[in-house]
Amino acid sequence: MDAKRELVISLFLKSFRPCDILKKLKQLGINERFIFRTIKRYKETGSWKILPKPGRKRTVRSPKAIKRVRERVRRNPAQSGRKMAKELGISQSTMKTILKDDLRLISYRKQRVHGLTEKQKAGRVQRCRQLLKRHGGCEILFSDKKLFLLQDHHNQQNDRIYAAHLSDFPRDKLAVQGFQNVSRVMVWGCFSKNLKVPLLFIEPGVKINTKYYIDNVLKNHLLPIVKKHYKKTPYCFQQDSAPSHQTKATQAWCEDNFPDFISSKEWPASSPDLNPLDFSAWGYMLGKLGSTKGLTVDTFKQRLEKVWNEMPQDIVRASCNAFQQRLRLVIKAKGERFELD
Cα 288 off chain centre by: 16
The pTM for the full model equals 0.65
Residue 61 CA neighbour count, 13 Å, CB half: 16
Cα 220 off chain centre by: 34
Question: 221-272 pLDDT, tens per residue?
Answer: 999 999 999 998 999 999 998 999 999 999 999 999 999 999 989 999 888 8
Q: Centre a 10 Å sphere on the Cβ of residue 13 and count the other Cβ atoms it contains.
A: 9
Are residues 262 and 237 in contact, defined by beta-carbon separation less than 8 angstroms?
A: yes
Are residues 260 and 235 in contact, defined by beta-carbon separation less than 8 angstroms?
A: yes
Q: In whole angstroms, give the CA distance from residue 283 to residue 277.
A: 8
Q: Which residues pair with 191 in a beta bridge?
A: 142, 196
Question: 81-106 pLDDT, tens per residue?
Answer: 889 899 888 899 999 999 988 888 88
| Tens-digit pLDDT string for the chain (341 aa) | 678 888 888 888 888 898 888 888 888 888 888 889 888 888 888 887 776 666 666 677 888 899 999 998 888 888 888 898 998 888 999 999 999 888 888 887 766 666 788 998 999 999 999 998 876 568 999 999 999 988 655 455 544 555 555 555 555 555 555 445 567 899 999 999 999 999 999 998 888 999 999 999 999 999 999 999 999 899 999 999 899 999 999 999 999 999 999 998 999 988 889 999 999 999 999 889 877 777 889 999 999 999 999 999 999 999 999 999 999 999 999 988 876 44
Sketch the domain layout of the chain as residue ranges.
2-45, 63-102, 118-332
Q: Which one of 3.60.20.40, 3.40.50.720, 3.30.420.10, 2.120.10.30 gives the CATH number of domain 118-332?
A: 3.30.420.10
Q: Residue 226, SS3?
A: helix
DSSP state of 89: T
Are residues 248 and 227 in contact, defined by beta-carbon separation less than 8 angstroms?
A: no
